[in-house]
Amino acid sequence: MKVGIIANPHKKGAAVAITSLVAALEKHGITTELEDDTASIIGAQTTFSAVELAMNCDVIAVLGGDGTMLNAAHRIGPTNTPLAGINIGTLGFLTSCKLDEIDVFAEELLARSYKVVPRILLEASVIYTDGRIETDFAVNEITLSRGQTGRLISLDAYIDGDLLNHYHADGLIVATPTGSTAYSLAAGGPLLSPIAKAFVITPICPHSLTNRSLVLDEHSEVELVTAESSECNSFYSIDGRDVIELPSDARVRIKKANHQLHLLRLKDRSYFSTLREKLHWG
């Protein structure tokens, strides 16, 4: 068993967390490798990039919160290597355990008693009129929004080539089941089971109260276009990362990605227990 480690350098206590995790794993006879930026946090040296780490390790342990997990998933790219989040952040919907549970984590790795849960990802392609196509994948969501302007945007949404709706709103979110607990939830969208073969469209502060979230099956293809009547251009982002202003004639095509994110979950831990804890349910 070899475990690669990626940590958020901006998290307080990251260096201590890295050292503690390495010690706990090696105590159980588990080999560790540090990603190059992570190694620099504790003054170590390595030649592994995030992609190479996934190619050479059985599991990737990610020290941080949900934001660190999202960043790690994008840096690693398509892989079957499971990610195990160790929460030193705040939310932790995607994480496997907390830092004070790393001995339990090491024991389950050694016994291989953990579960690996595949999560649907979305592929988004921005299609420009000059023929350029820029493609990326989303763990949580693709968002088209009005940016910092106070004006609303108008978007035409098509499902499998058929017009769904003309939205006049602050924006529109297309979210995975994983992302249903993130921005989509904050905008009033439904919670989806993480293994649901579906994704959801959620308008952000729509001008019409009749506009509601819509759950689509996994084989649907969504196309979003800024309408001619829009008061401003749309701003495009994936998983809250880089925000790009789109030309008014660009189109965004969204479908299920060809690869999945594999999340490691400890035995006797469930998605629903995480919901109860994080959402403070009774």
Spatial contact of 116 and 81, defined as CB atoms under 8 Å apart: no
The residue count of the chain comes to 282
Spatial contact of 60 and 73, defined as CB atoms under 8 Å apart: no
Tokens of 200: 């959801």
At 36, give phi and psi (nearest 5°). -60, -45
Contact residues for 280 (Cβ-Cβ < 8 A; gap 6+): none
If we measure between CA atoms, which residue out of 152, 119, 159 comes closest to residue 235? 152
Residue 116: CB atoms within 10 A of its CB come to 14
If we measure between CA atoms, which residue out of 55, 86, 41 comes closest to residue 68? 86
Tokens of 275: 């919901």
At 273, give phi and psi (nearest 5°). -70, -35
Tokens of 229: 């009547």
Kindly list the catalytic residues.
Answer: 66
Tokens of 140: 């949580």
If we measure between CA atoms, which residue out of 124, 19, 1 comes closest to residue 74? 124
Using CA atoms, how far apart are residues 50 and 56, in angstroms rounded to an integer?
A: 10
Tell me the residue type at 198: A
